[in-house]
Amino acid sequence: MGNCAGNATVAKMASEIREHLEKGIIPFWKGLRDDENGGYYGYLSYDLKLDKKAVKGCILNSRITWFFANAYMVLKDESLLDEARHAYEFLRDYCFDYENGGVFWSMTYDGKPEDTTKHTYNQAFAIYALSSYYDASGDKKALELAYKLFDTIEEKCTDNVGYLEAFDISFKPAENDKLSENGVMADKTMNTLLHVFEGYSELYRVDKSEKVAARIKWILDTFADKIYNPELHRQEVFFDANYNTILDLYSYGHDIETAWLVDRGVEILGDAAYEKKMTPVTKDLTQNVYKVAFNGQALNNECDRGVVNTTRVWWVQAEALLGFLNGYQRDSEKVEFLEAAQNEWNYIKEYVIDKRPGSEWFSEVDIDGKSDSIAKPIVEPWKCPYHNGRMCFEVIKRAQIMCK
């Protein structure tokens, strides 16, 4: 699991990242707590203007619940558990549709359904949040709700091929406009499958249910046999109803994220046969992203039909750092991966972290590291402390193991 010099590099990086977590990310998100209407405020513009009446995305709220629950488990600060509880109570009391099942897409600022779409991706993130919150708090209601959503996904969000995407309030199929991009409308997506896997892995970690394990194995088989393209050393992204790819798209951020998430999920599963099956896939994804998308400092965003998008997206940089560190941990001869992780952290510190008081990370910067040419919000329904917070937690935890 690395050598002495590598361990020292990881220890130093982890120390800096912990300081940033404690002094930057956590205080920022604590400051967005809405004590009047519940949950957390849903929008902060690029020029740092807070909209207290903006829509509150349920994905955003699930991710904040997950973030504070895990922050508590890593840092053992009781105030973080209180924040997690505050987010969980909004999720439990407002985001759930107790009549039709599932979780809404978004709420008004004061907790009324705003967009009643039921999306499989959204259900999966609620499972992810509820499972972590159960682990942090011991609240069995959270675990009960997680299993209700698991059953909802398996009963209402699948066909005989795999996971469907979008539905109306009563789970009648709807167009997948929320997770389709690049000019296509996808029946199935790699992204939804990945995050169902992520949510199920966390649920299995905290409760070891065999019915959850069975679905995790099915998803891993699907990734290896249908999503992963061994000829192109990448995952396909958008699919028709039968998991046939419909677009020549290489999503660098998703590939490096998938590599470490699958490694983690396989470790949680504890099945040697799946470790043997999936390890060559995750190593190949990591190696190819490093080869074709990393410029020595930062990761490009994607390649759509041969055209590379060089925008440096916040979550892509966070996942790159973690994915390269994971690759190094699993093969200590790959010192270039450790160097890449360190260089990513240096890039994030220099360009992605917003140094203005009252801010957090820029959503995107251009190839020159400038944010004002893009000027995207600092907080919106997709911009949250999930990717960068998780990067912090994972680096801290991995450093503790490597540097004993």
Condensed to tens digits (0 to 9), the pLDDT of residues 203-237 reads 999 999 999 999 999 999 999 999 999 999 999 99
Mean pLDDT computed over 240-259: 98
- Kindly report, as residue ranges, where domains of CATH 1.50.10.10 are found in the chain: 1-30+248-404, 49-207
Both tokens of 192, joined, read: 């939804």
Query: Per residue in 88-115, is it b (16+ CB within 10 Å) or e — as a string?
Result: bebbbebbbbeebbbbbbbbbbebebbb
In the structure, what pLDDT confidence band is assigned to residue 401 with cuts at 50, 70 and 90?
Answer: confident
Whether 19 has a pLDDT exceeding 70, the answer reads: yes
Interval 275-290: pLDDT, tens: 999 999 999 999 999 9
Distance in angstroms (rounded) separating the CA atoms of residues 360 and 352 = 9
What pLDDT is stored for residue 69 in this prediction? 99
User: CATH classification of 1-30+248-404 is 1.50.10.10, yes or no?
Assistant: yes
Q: What percent of the chain has pLDDT over 90?
A: 97
User: Both tokens of residue 233?
Assistant: 């050393």
Average pLDDT for 105-130: 98
Query: What does CATH list as the number for 49-207?
Result: 1.50.10.10
Across 121-127, average pLDDT = 98
Q: State the pLDDT at residue 5.
A: 66
Judge whether 326 and 395 are in contact, CB under 8 Å.
Answer: no
